[in-house]
Chain A
């Protein structure tokens, strides 16, 4: 049995690894932002949405966030919405806004204390984790982790979606 299981797991992993997220509807959600105002994914339909999962304790996330701020500012008028979702546990909630302010971030930051959205989109809780949603509300790509230079690929993917008119 074990001898069978190992290759099965390998094959399954590789097959799944080639699967693409493109075209699957992005599940909607409702979360409160740092002023307790509400944000849903559905209210941004018709725009390209980048959902960025991050946490105050995640170093690569904090390196990536200024790049996202630049994209939000430059590409916002063309139809990009960046939504940051903090994957911090409730115990760290007081740290979130001071960090966001210190980074000069102006795009919406949402809190998910019960990890309902994190569990749905990013069950392994890999951080940072970006989900790119097209104008029709479908997931175009996911980006797991961050290495310097990844923002170039991310930006290219966003601009490609922005070039497509809303359906």
Chain B
């Protein structure tokens, strides 16, 4: 299959080489006022099929991981028979002509040394495939993960296959790729985007298509997708002076799993389980201010969801006085997260959280997904220096305040809480020197219980730094330490204060080579991975130390080869309004990423 695709690329290269260069077009930059109709991408006469793939490009990502598992199997304490090797390959291809675009992603994963057989008897195995997922190979799986065809006309862009969709600020619908946490959920169906004068229309319907194969995380017991039907419409009206208006509606028909007979396309045949309807108003440059407001109503008819309605409000105000950029945002969410009840490891709706997601804890992840939260955040950045003279200095500060009343789900809190999170930081860039520093403290103050029991407050102190210093010649050194100190109030699930620390030290030798050393430390008693250094270099009982080294080679601007050996810790990671518990790792990894 890969060779066939390569043959296709080779043909495409030939076609591109034969194609004459396009004539120059001296078209001035569009100077139409805000609200003017969106001009179409340059259109031309329909291309012959032979030139359809004249612009094929894409990327190839290969990961080979040797998983060392420190645990020993009983009676096999002298052997690492739980270790195994995982190979993941992802090939993305896109191409097309001015009028037609096509794209595909082919994923493959295979396990090696995942069985231990002694004297003809199976002692241990790791299964790649879970129940219900078919593959002709026992320990390998290939899938056409994404595929799409896009047809562009002067007024309409129509996509059949996989597409991403986001309405308003993502509150009503937000199916996106989130590379930070290895989540990639598209909508497999049809999407049309039309530009009619000052109107934009987006209409789509399809089945959720989460990625089957994880690129950066272990692939074990892969399950079939549970595809939910999602249909939506968004209208945007531009050109009302400085004001733009938008309105949208989305309906969800959830699959309950294959045994219910409502999976896949059959989900369309069942009643609507949930809906969202809302509108937005945006005003840009009104007396130097940019304003945005959105309101959404949620309705639920699915019997598994315990409420019938919810709503979300979001607003932002930006101002730019003098050297300052000021952004103030506010939100109110009441019973909106129920729309994500049936999605696993991804979210169908995900509006702005106003959180500093990089340091989100187990508890604050619940605040991200709260069904009853009100809050806001204000941030001010000050601009100094001049990037055109290669000096940029931007100090900034922000403060977020939330009131979280949700006590269900993943929440630790047994009473309402008020969250205060001030942060300050600075960015300094001068030629090849850069310093990025951020520090803050989040305090979750719990209300007392109804019986008067005090619950105290949870505190998180965090600081992170990224500094890169040129050492002369073609050498540069980068240091990126990060510290988080947790102090807990009265919390039945986590009573011990602890510290997490990590650091990356990178020595870069010109463009092609970089040598990195990673260190992790944690004394979290509930951590879900053990370190590879404790008891060897330093560290006491209850302290977990991790170390790793990596070599990177970049032979050209589009290719990176990495070799990694060592360990890093498990932990929760939040990005894009979603949080995942990511596993730790110990072993060796090789990765190749290239674009073409």
Contacts and interface: CB of A to CB of B under 8 A. Distances in A.
A126 B90 CA distance: 14
A161 B429 CA distance: 27
Given A1-B140, A135-B24, A44 B176 contact: no
A66 B39 contact: no
A37 B32 contact: yes
Given A115-B176, A125-B177, A103 B392 contact: yes
B326 interface: yes
Nearest to B285: A35
Contacts of B105: 123
B376 interface: no
Given A25-B54, A38-B38, A120-B103, A114 B202 contact: yes
Contact of B23 (A16, A143, A148, A167): A167
A104 B558 contact: no
Given A23-B16, A148-B468, A97 B174 contact: no
Contacts of B111: 2
Contact of B29 (A39, A98, A102, A142): A39
A36 B326 CA distance: 20
Contacts of A69: 387-388
B420 to A, nearest CB: 21
A38 B32 contact: yes
Contacts of B436: 59, 62-63
Given A17-B60, A17-B592, A35 B101 contact: no
B24 A149 contact: no
A155 to B, nearest CB: 12
B57 interface: yes
A101 B325 contact: yes
B320 A101 contact: yes
Nearest to B575: A57
B383 A139 contact: no
A1 to B, nearest CB: 5
Contact of A45 (B24, B87, B164): B24
Interface in B130-180: 137, 139-140, 148, 150, 157, 159, 163-171, 174, 176-177, 179-180
Interface string A147-159: 1111001000100
Contacts of A125: 177, 179
Given A2-B112, A98-B325, A17 B27 contact: no
Contact of A12 (B3, B290, B379, B381): B3
Nearest to A136: B21
Interface size class of B (residues with CB under 8 A): 35 or more
B560 interface: yes
Given A2-B112, A148-B470, A166-B24, A141 B558 contact: yes
Given A57-B575, A142-B558, A149-B476, A94 B163 contact: no
A103 B320 CA distance: 12
Contacts of B466: 59
Nearest to B165: A114
20 contacts: A5-B140, A9-B89, A12-B89, A13-B60, A25-B54, A30-B39, A37-B34, A38-B37, A38-B39, A42-B41, A45-B22, A66-B390, A89-B174, A91-B174, A94-B169, A123-B59, A123-B94, A135-B24, A148-B432, A167-B24
Shortest beta-carbon contacts, A-B, top 5: A42-B42, A91-B170, A66-B387, A102-B381, A94-B316
Interface of B: 2-3, 5-6, 9, 12-13, 16-17, 19, 21-42, 54-62, 64, 87, 89-92, 94, 96, 98, 101, 103, 105, 108, 110-112, 137, 139-140, 148, 150, 157, 159, 163-171, 174, 176-177, 179-180, 191, 193, 195, 202, 238, 244, 284-285, 290, 292, 316, 318, 320, 325-327, 329, 350-352, 357, 379, 381-383, 385-390, 392, 394, 396, 427, 429, 432-434, 436, 466, 468, 470, 474, 476, 478, 508, 510-511, 514, 555, 557-560, 575-577, 592-596
Interface of A: 1-2, 5-6, 8-10, 12-17, 19-21, 23-30, 32, 34-46, 57, 59, 62-63, 65-67, 69-70, 73-74, 89-95, 97-99, 101-105, 113-116, 119-126, 129, 135-139, 141-145, 147-150, 153, 157, 166-167
Given A20-B596, A67-B390, 20 more contacts: A1-B137, A16-B594, A19-B13, A25-B54, A27-B98, A30-B38, A36-B34, A37-B30, A37-B31, A40-B39, A62-B436, A93-B169, A94-B316, A105-B387, A114-B163, A114-B191, A114-B193, A115-B166, A145-B560, A148-B434
